[in-house]
Amino acid sequence: MNILLNYKTTILIFILAFSGCSGSRLRIGNSVTLCCPGSYENYDEYRVELVDVPIFLRDYVVDEFDRAFQELGLDRNDQSSDLVVTIAYEHVNLNPEQQDINPFVRPESITEELNYIAVIDISMRETTTGNQVWGGTISRMHFVTPGEYMHEDRARAAFLYTFRDLLNNYPIMD
């Protein structure tokens, strides 16, 4: 188990070190994990499902994903859709001694820096068949010092930029 976790962590660190954008933006790495087995010309509407996404991230992660995906010509429809988009959060601690520390609940007694990777997997599956037709992942390494808090404005812009970059590989059918 520890070997698998260390192997996964090493791969994620390597991917993050060589991906992302340049400039003053927050760096969020991204990669497509599945592309193009679907009938993309038949997809017009989608709905979103969230899995384990922290409450404080939900609104703007979904808002920025919606904005980027709608720029490709798809419409969100939570009642009737061609695609189900699942956005799932995974938290990977980089320090084994910090496995039980939740970085989103920071009691004043925590005086150490927390080191972790935030991973968001995005998968799309057809509503009628359940077949997965597209997938991608975004991730960012975090080094959080005591008393630090989430900078929503910077994070919101970084999510939009990253979703646009990731969805650049989504097949658009005219």
* pLDDT range class, residue 89, cuts 50, 70, 90: very high
Note whether residue 173 is domain-resident: no
Mean pLDDT within 68-96: 92
Scan for tokens 């037709």, then name that residue.
133
Within a domain: 172: no
Per-residue pLDDT averaged across 138-163, rounded? Answer: 77
**DSSP strand E in 10-113: where?**
29-35, 45-51, 75-76, 83-93
Is residue 104 predicted with pLDDT exceeding 50? yes
Percent of the residues in the chain that have a pLDDT greater than 70, as a whole number: 68
User: Is residue 23's pLDDT more than 60?
Assistant: no
Q: Is 141 left (phi over 0), alpha (psi -120 to 50) or beta?
A: beta
Q: Confidence band (pLDDT; 50, 70, 90) for 166?
A: very high
E strands within 67-154?
75-76, 83-93, 114-126, 132-144
Mean pLDDT for 151-158 is 74
Q: Is residue 69 domain-resident?
A: yes
Per residue in 122-145, pLDDT (tens digit) is: 999 999 999 999 999 999 886 676
Domain hosting 92: range is 2-167
User: Which one has a higher pLDDT value, 37 or 94?
Assistant: 37
Both tokens assigned to 110: 């925590």
What's the domain count of the chain?
1
Separation of alpha carbons 134 and 126, rounded Å: 10
3 state SS of 33:
strand
Q: What is the CATH number of the domain that holds 64?
A: 3.30.160
Q: 96 Cβ partners below 8 Å, 6+ apart?
A: 2
Say what the pLDDT of residue 161 is: 94
48 in a structural domain: yes
Per the domain annotation, does 174 fall within a domain?
no
Output the pLDDT for position 143. 67
Q: What is the pLDDT of residue 72?
A: 94
Q: Which of 3-7, 31-35, 55-59 has the lowest average pLDDT?
A: 3-7
